[in-house]
Structure 1
Amino acid sequence: MTVLNTRERRKKILDWLRQRGQVQVRAMAQQFSVSEMTIRRDLEHLAREGHLVRTYGGAALAGGLIPELPYAAKAAEHTEEKRRIARCAASLVQEGDVILLDAGSTTAEIARCLKGRSGITVVTCDLKIAMELCDEQGIRVLVTGGTAMPQVYNLLGPIAEQTLRALTVNLAFVGTSAADVEYGLTTPTLEKVPLKQAIIRAGQRSVLVADASKFSRRSTFQICELSAFSMIISDRSLPQHVADAIRKGGVPLELV
């Protein structure tokens, strides 16, 4: 890979930001074959110029609102953290349970952890999750129906919402791109609001599964407060003050 000078590298970082809405220090350091400290200096410089805002472990476009990201972009980030979260979430599922898996890369990891299990029914609004599990002999897969969202593979709209409103499940696992102690769960896509609200209501227990990078971030449309969840599972890099605030709000928090 050609080594870029500082100006070129910062331009590439901004290009990456405009495409994905966010960057992580570790990923940028690997991308440009430089130290994480160098990337932090780049981000601080770009923040002073007003191009971006710093977030935990990285940066987002100025304005701070998280955009909708393609599945491929989400799946490539924080993979080990998502696997640990998924293993913890899957351990909650018992034989005979009916569970609901929201769309997303973390819930897709939960689906992979369920492979080989038996006596489980999985309801999902995610086409990738349905494909992941449809050949598992011990798992019955129900798909909500609805309108497919390109590059995200989420099923949205009145058909999906009607299906979800008619359900009660043992566990509902919910993913997110933006969670904040004060503002709760938010999304850049208006059509996801009633869908996710229906998922949360369907669960006798609703569990938020989100790695630490998703916290202290906001998007345009509010879904619910964090207190709507029976449990939150995140990873050990979640800042202590965020963990303390979640627990103070009365929601059990598991860090893996």
Structure 2
Amino acid sequence: MASLERHQQIIDIVHQKGYESVSNLCKSLKVSAVTIRKDLKLLEKAGKLYRTHGGASNTNPFTTDRPVNEKEMIQTSEKKSIGKKAATYITADDSIIIASGTTMLALAREILPQQKLIVITSALQVASELVKHNNVDIMQLGGIVRQSSSSVVGSYAEDILKDFFCTKLYLGVDGIDFEFGLTTSNSMEAQLNKSMISVVQKVVVLADHTKFGKRGFSKICGLHDIDEIITDKGISPAIVDQCQKLGIKITIAE
């Protein structure tokens, strides 16, 4: 196969699937990993795709911090379906942590507790949404307020968490990279998320399909530190397959 023909096939595969691994490209095109990596480097330089760890994507893998009101207008239906599914995991007399992010707000809007529920949260909007329920006890973490996310970060919030243990953490992320792990755009938020992970029984990541193959500035944790990812039906089969190969439970919200 000529290199130009191979390059076009790579572009077609990546744009069709959204993401493809080097190993799968090798199998499909019957060439070595060295050849595929050289091809991807050339195609990225030409602006045809983006290289990621272990593969290629048709979207920029690097994320930037954006205001919460801007994020709230993106992938709204997907976030609603993810939040609705995540809310079904809440049980009677549950105690949960809800981190920051617009998908966390979508979750809060779907919570209709029939019995007592304890919620610890760093997100101001989540607390504001849940305060209308008489049977929800809310512990709002304190600290430095991040205006871009309407949430708190810092040592005060981290220290409070040391005195509690909860059943679940609902965690939002800016990026999910199969090699680098879960990331966010702010280092202080990443540190608070790590503290949250250390005091819960189960970590449930809520992320729409656009978060896969992305990488933010600060690492939260590796994929081995989480229990489940809830995403939407826009996720590509290739990414679902890769999650399953890594032993990650992935739930697709309808």
TM-score by length of structure 2 reads 0.75
Q: Contact (CA 8 Å) 2:50, 2:57: kept in 1 or not?
A: no
Kindly indicate whether residue 220 of structure 2 is the aligned counterpart of residue 215 of structure 1: no
Aligned to 1:191, the other structure's residue is in SS state helix
Q: Distance in 2 between matches of 1:254 and 1:94?
A: 18
Report the count of equivalent residues: 207
Equivalent positions of 1:163-182 (< 5 A) are 163-182=160-179
Q: 1:136 corresponds to which letter in structure 2? A: H
Q: Distance in 1 between matches of 2:50 and 2:77?
A: 25
2:146 equivalent among 146, 149, 153:
149
Equivalent positions of 1:90-239 (< 5 A) are 90-115=87-112, 117-239=114-236
Q: Contact (CA 8 Å) 1:117, 1:139: kept in 2 or not?
A: no
In the alignment, what sits opposite 1:38? Answer: none
In the alignment, what sits opposite 1:80? Answer: 77
Identity fraction in percent:
27
1:197-235 C-alpha deviation (Å, 9 max, x unpaired): 111222211100000001100122211111211111011
Unaligned runs of at least 5 residues, structure 2: 1-43
Give 1:54 deviation, angstroms.
9.4
Q: Contact (CA 8 Å) 1:115, 1:133: kept in 2 or not?
A: no
Unaligned runs of at least 5 residues, structure 1: 1-46
In the alignment, what sits opposite 1:34? Answer: none
Equivalent positions of 1:27-66 (< 5 A) are 59-60=59-60, 64-66=61-63
In the alignment, what sits opposite 2:24? Answer: none
Aligned to 1:123, the other structure's residue is in SS state strand
In the alignment, what sits opposite 1:245? Answer: 242
Q: Distance in 2 between matches of 1:190 and 1:184?
A: 14
Q: Distance in 2 between matches of 1:74 and 1:53?
A: 23
Q: Distance in 1 between matches of 2:57 and 2:82?
A: 18
Give 1:57 deviation, angstroms.
9.8
Q: Contact (CA 8 Å) 2:49, 2:58: kept in 1 or not?
A: no
Q: Give RMSD over aligned pairs.
A: 2.3
Higher RCO (C-alpha 8 Å, min separation 6): 2
Q: Distance in 1 between matches of 2:197 and 2:240?
A: 21
Give 1:188 deviation, angstroms.
1.9
